[in-house]
Amino acid sequence: MHLAELNIARLRYPKGDPRVAEFFENLDRVNATAERMPGFVWRLKDEAGNATDIPFNDDPLVIANLSVWETPETLERYVFQTVHTAFYRKRDLWFEKLSGPHMVFWWVGSGTLPTLSEAAARLAELATNGPSGRGFGWSDLASAELWRARRCA
């Protein structure tokens, strides 16, 4: 089993606005770091190499990141111990605070790649029903690891 993750954000300003330029100018570098990380499996991207032009919903300012990792630890290492961390700390400059969950995790079989529509449905389920085997948040990862261990045994 691998860990799939979706996170969405709503830009404060449209792509091309100088106030979000630092984010977009560094996106390729941050994405390349993810792809070089031990434990990285896959990420959604278009021909340009990122997913910011792939619509998540009807709001053109909402962008999505969808990826798959071997374990929660490998994802956490990338998020909190690489160049990604510096940009994560600046997220309030570029993104609005969302009223509901903006991130969801779930387990996928090795070799299974999630779709954006599946990920969106899991995020909606998390917002409506709370954490479950179909979707959970960072704070639920410890119990989700136990669930995965039992399921894979």
Domain extents for the chain?
Answer: 2-152
Q: Say if residue 149's pLDDT is above 60.
A: no
- Residues of the chain with pLDDT > 90, as a percent, come to 76
Convert the pLDDT of each residue in 71-110 to its tens digit: 999 999 988 888 888 888 899 999 999 999 999 999 999 9
Q: What's the pTM value of the predicted model, to 2 decimals?
A: 0.89
Q: Would you tell me which CATH number, out of the four given (3.30.70.100, 3.40.50.2300, 3.30.1280.10, 3.90.700.10), belongs to the domain 2-152?
A: 3.30.70.100
4-29 b/e with 16+ CB inside 10 Å = b? bbbbbbbbeeeeeeeebeebeeebee
Q: Say if residue 4's pLDDT is above 50.
A: yes
pLDDT of residue 117: 97
Over residues 28-44, mean pLDDT: 95
Q: Say if residue 14's pLDDT is above 90.
A: yes
Q: Which residues pair with 106 in a beta bridge?
A: 4
Of the pLDDT bands very low, low, confident and very high (cuts 50, 70, 90), residue 148 is low
- Residues of the chain with pLDDT > 70, as a percent, come to 92
Q: Where are the alpha helices (DSSP H) in the chain?
A: 21-36, 72-81, 84-89, 91-94, 116-129, 141-152
- Identify which of 130, 51, 63 has the alpha carbon closest to the alpha carbon of residue 96: 63
Average pLDDT, the chain: 90
pLDDT of residue 144: 58
Contact (CB, 8 A) for 87 and 23: yes
Over residues 34-61, mean pLDDT: 94
- Identify which of 93, 92, 84 has the alpha carbon closest to the alpha carbon of residue 43: 84
